[in-house]
A = this chain, B = another copy of it.
Amino acid sequence: MREIFEAELHQLGTDLTTMSQQVEVAIRDAGRALQTADLQLAESVIVADEAIDALERELDTRCVHLLAQQAPVAGDLRVVVTSLRMSATLERMGDLARHIAQVSRRGYPRVAIPQAVSGTFAEMNDAAVRVAERTTQLLRTRDLDLATSIEHDDEIIDRLHEETFTAILGGNWNGTPQETVDTTLLSRYYERFGDHGVSIARRMVFLVTGGHIAGAHTTA
């Protein structure tokens, strides 16, 4: 009985890792589509998000069955409840990558972001891809140094998010209203993406150490 349960718990971890890998691909491709106005790549991100959503539903169903059939307690219970929350967070990260791809698609054939912030968004996307990669590794290895790296990359994203607004409001901005809207939304999507990565990182710290998590809900 215990062995089956262990296998099921292990499977939850594997599924979360799979979701996270798909989020990695999504954010990497969304960023590339944004920089190059690649319509096909943008559409592939939009379509692939359905698979992430489906994985979330499967994982949630599995968690609820586990709760009902195994009535886990203590550490096991924490794993199941945390998995439920992490799957919801990964689903949102997938949505945000999809939103970024949708902005690219709407802008096609032009590049949706003005040249003035192109470099900022390239950096922001690199940091977001690192967040996603480290989230996958963290889910696989539970190496808490990765949680620290995720927090660090989130700070980088927050700084770049501020830089975007500084560029828009700095007086030299000559973007069209459409570009201003798109740049604002895109920057917000990246900022939320980083927050969600931090949320997973903090939940993992909580799971591994059993300690309290300050501000485990994303506050931004």
Contacts and interface: CB of A to CB of B under 8 A. Distances in A.
Interface of A: 53, 56-57, 64, 67-68, 71, 73-74, 77-78, 81, 84-85, 88, 91, 95, 165, 168-169, 173, 175, 177-178, 180-181, 184-185, 188, 217, 219-220
Contacts of A85: 84, 88
Interface SS, A side: helix
Contacts of A73: 68, 71
A6 B135 CA distance: 39
Contacts of A188: 185, 188
A158 B64 CA distance: 32
Contacts of A64: 77-78, 81
B219 A95 contact: yes
